[in-house]
């Protein structure tokens, strides 16, 4: 027995609508922006292959963007300028409220803030930093500034003068070139540095662990596109070729992220360290 004509019409209409929806998603170009942890050329060398792989795995199209400084980047994020972002964990709860970014994935391995000095620096103890300068990528960087400065203050009663260096790479160069006595960054960023920079530095202190940088999506991005990107990251970390690309971020194992992962940061009472 054949189905009624009306049922057939509804079936084909739904089929056409589904095909149209998928095609529409594929035609959009999504702005994927990354916090400028490194200088621009290095950042694009790391992230463009990841973006290219995301396009292959999802069928979506992306434009990779960044900003000249972490502060400029965070301002643009708060204005909702980007469709997908890779951002400072501390900022995630704030931009989840407005403009409503939704965390998708993060590295299963937490981040740690680090305090670095030159290998030949006279600064051998945290207490030696009194009245010295500390370079940070931005005042609101979680591990590199907020957690680090909170621990220096609360555990050691040390409050160095803060210099904003704009990127993690610039922090290391500030210290190497004597423009700052010490630098705040994260272990993952130090591992990405050229050995000619990395080998001049030593880590004097590490902070407590915190949730890693998330990839998040603006609520205007359709659910199907958000879920496709989430799954693509998780799938990439499950095969050798994908893991090699993610290791450059670095993201060792991509796992689904929830806003609850980042709300725990609000209990640390770090707001007063968001100013010099």
Q: Tell whether 119 and 195 lie within a shared domain.
A: yes
pLDDT of residue 26: 54
Could you tell me if 50 and 73 lie in one domain? yes
- Residue 226 confidence (pLDDT) above 70: yes
Report yes or no on 255 lying in a domain. Answer: yes
Q: Is residue 16 part of a domain?
A: no
Residue 266 lies in a domain: yes
The answer to whether 34 touches 46, Cβ cutoff 8 Å, is no
Least confident of 5-19, 97-111, 240-254: 5-19
Residue 176 lies in a domain: yes
pLDDT digits 0-9 by tens, 110-160: 999 999 999 999 999 999 999 999 999 999 999 999 999 999 999 999 999
CA angle 254, 255, 259 (to 5 degrees): 125
Cα–Cα distance, 100 to 69 (Å, whole number): 22
Q: At residue 258, does pLDDT exceed 70?
A: yes
The β-bridge relationship of strands 61-65 and 29-34 is parallel
Across the chain, mean pLDDT equals 90
6: in domain = no
Tell me: pLDDT of 34 over 90: yes
Asked whether residue 1 is assigned to any structural domain, the reply reads: no
Residues 121 and 144 in one domain: yes
- Give the residue numbers spanning the domain of 70: 27-109+212-272
Helix 40-58 / helix 223-236 crossing angle, nearest 10 deg? 110
- For residues 223 and 104, membership in a common domain is answered with yes
Q: Mean of the pLDDT values across residues 198-225?
A: 97
Residue at token pair 């998780």 = 234
Spatial distance between the Cα atoms of 51 and 35, rounded to a whole number of angstroms: 15
pLDDT at 109: 94
Residue with the larger pLDDT of the pair 192 and 3 = 192
φ and ψ of 220, to 5 deg:
-70, -20
Question: Given 210, 238, 255, which residue is the final one in a domain?
Answer: 210
- Which pLDDT tens digit goes with each residue over 69-106? 888 999 999 999 999 999 999 999 999 999 999 999 99
Question: What is the rounded CA–CA span in Å between residue 216 and residue 105?
Answer: 7
| Total domains in the fold of the chain | 2
14 located within any domain: no
CATH code where residue 221 lies: 3.40.190.10
* DSSP character string of 115-148: EEEETT-S--SGGGGTT-EEEES-TT-IIIIIIH
Residue in 132, 112, 269 with CA at minimum distance from that of residue 190: 112
Last residue of a domain, one of 210, 245, 263: 210
Is the predicted pLDDT of residue 8 greater than 90, yes or no? no
- 3 state SS of 64: strand
pLDDT of residue 175: 98
pLDDT higher than threshold 50 for residue 205: yes
* 10, pLDDT greater than 60: no
Mean pLDDT value of segment 159-163: 97
pLDDT at residue number 188: 87
Contact (CB, 8 A) for 46 and 248 = yes
- Average pLDDT on 165-180 reads 96
Q: Which of 172, 192, 210 is the last residue of a domain?
A: 210
Q: Please tell me whether residues 220 and 93 are part of one structural domain.
A: yes
For residues 100 and 226, membership in a common domain is answered with: yes
Does residue 38 sit within a domain?
yes
Shared domain for 64 and 135, answered yes or no, is no
DSSP state of 160: P
pLDDT at 173 over 70: yes
- Kindly state whether residues 104 and 234 are assigned to the same domain: yes
Is the CB of residue 171 less than 8 Å from the CB of residue 39? no
Return the pLDDT at 3.
47
Domain match, 36 and 148 both: no
Same domain, 38 and 170: no
Q: Are residues 206 and 259 in the same domain?
A: no
SS3 label, residue 126: helix
78 Cβ neighbours under 8 A, 6+ residues apart: 94, 95, 98, 99
Q: pTM of the full predicted structure? A: 0.83
Same domain, 40 and 151: no
Percent of the residues in the chain that have a pLDDT greater than 70, as a whole number = 90
């Amino acid at each position: 027995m054949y189905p009624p004509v009306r049922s057939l019409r509804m079936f084909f209409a739904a089929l056409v609508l589904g095909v149209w929806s998928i095609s529409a998603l594929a035609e959009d170009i999504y702005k994927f922006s990354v916090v400028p942890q490194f200088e621009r050329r290095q950042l694009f060398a790391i992230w463009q292959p990841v973006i290219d792989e995301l396009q292959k795995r999802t069928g979506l199209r992306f434009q990779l963007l960044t900003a000249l400084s972490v502060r400029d980047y965070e301002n643009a994020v708060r204005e909702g300028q980007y469709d997908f972002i890779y951002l400072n964990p501390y900022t995630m709860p704030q931009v989840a409220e407005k403009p409503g970014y939704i965390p998708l994935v993060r590295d299963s391995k937490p981040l740690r803030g680090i305090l670095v000095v030159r290998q030949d620096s006279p600064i051998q103890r945290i207490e030696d930093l009194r009245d010295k300068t500390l370079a940070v990528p931005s005042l609101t960087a979680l591990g590199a500034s907020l957690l680090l400065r909170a621990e220096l203050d609360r555990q050691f009663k040390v409050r160095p003068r803060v210099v904003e260096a704009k990127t993690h790479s610039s922090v290391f160069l500030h210290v190497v070139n004597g423009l700052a006595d010490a630098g705040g960054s994260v272990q993952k960023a130090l591992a990405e540095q050229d050995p000619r920079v990395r080998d001049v530095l030593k880590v004097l202190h590490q902070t407590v662990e915190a949730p890693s940088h998330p990839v998040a999506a603006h609520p205007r991005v359709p659910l199907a596109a958000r879920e496709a990107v989430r799954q693509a990251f998780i799938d990439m970390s499950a095969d050798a070729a994908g893991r090699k690309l993610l290791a450059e971020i670095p993201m060792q194992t991509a796992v689904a992220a929830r806003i609850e992962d980042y709300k725990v940061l609000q209990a640390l009472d770090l707001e007063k360290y968001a100013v010099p």
